[in-house]
Amino acid sequence: MTAPHRPCPACQADRSSRLEAYAPADWDVVACGNCGFVFLRNPPPYAALEEDFAWEKTYAEKKKQGGSTGLSGLNRRLRAALGLTGGKRGDAKFAAWFGAGKVLDIGCGDRIRTAIPITPYGIELSTALHARSDAAMRARGGYCLKAAGADGVWQFEPAFFDGVILHSYLEHEANPMRVLEGIHRVLKPDCKVYVRVPNYGSLNRRVVGAKWCGFRHPDHVNYFTFASLRAMAAKAGFSTKLVNHANLWVDDNIHALLQRLS
Ligand SMILES: [Zn+2]
């Protein structure tokens, strides 16, 4: 299949060079010639992602192949030994960050990550996953839109949400700036966005290279470092705070909280 090239999602520059070591035959993983951001230059169109490349299928395939996770297991043990893992469960963290209002989970898959009394809303492109999450969210007073995140987020009223969750989503999104700008519009002032994305700056990626668990072709289309995530968020009107600041360098993921600046 062929897909059109896109400009850098971080700075819109058109110059980029292929990272041959990270780019399998059909997929152009490139570094921006202007800002250095690493991204997939030819992502599949949204229509293909609805069915052909739905993440739950490629994830299952990667698991079946026993794809290398390199240092991940070691890192988990190291982090545990250093007392850097654990803490509050996800839903308790969301309650602390978002309070008890309406929370939007973009790319929610088939699950609800927040607990009562939060009212859950979602956006999900995969047909099968959307059907399941919509039913569950309606039972709790919210609903799930079937759309791409960059389109769906603009369909809600301004200042509608008390919090937004981007859990393993932004790395899949071909238009991350449009999503962040849309979130700025639908989020109440001073409210927060939780972001979890693969950490391209991790030690593990440097050690295992092309076999790093964060590479998933063609599902992952953006490869963030903390600096590039913070720069993109700032452009959309957010301040950024790292959640896993103590162990970012050995963590395969970045966990961050963005706050909407008024
Ligand atoms: Zn760039």
Q: State which residues of the chain have pLDDT below 70.
A: 1-3, 48-88
217 C-alpha vs ligand 1 centroid, how far in Å?
20
187 C-alpha vs ligand 1 centroid, how far in Å?
26
In a domain, 152, yes or no: yes
Residue range 107-137, pLDDT digits in tens? 999 999 999 999 999 999 999 999 999 999 9
The C-alpha R_g of the chain, in whole angstroms, comes to 18
Closest CA to 126 of 207, 219, 40: 219
Domain count, the chain: 1
In a domain, 108, yes or no: yes
65 C-alpha vs ligand 1 centroid, how far in Å?
33
185 C-alpha vs ligand 1 centroid, how far in Å?
24
Domain that holds residue 197: 48-260
214 C-alpha vs ligand 1 centroid, how far in Å?
20
CATH code where residue 96 lies: 3.40.50.150
pTM, two decimals, is 0.87
> Residue 86: what pLDDT?
47
254 C-alpha vs ligand 1 centroid, how far in Å?
20
In a domain, 166, yes or no: yes
Residue range 40-78, pLDDT digits in tens? 999 988 776 666 555 556 555 555 554 444 555 555 555
In a domain, 255, yes or no: yes
Q: Which long-range contacts (CB under 8 A, 24 or more apart) does 10-15 make?
A: 10/35, 10/37, 10/39, 10/177, 10/228, 10/231, 10/232, 11/35, 11/37
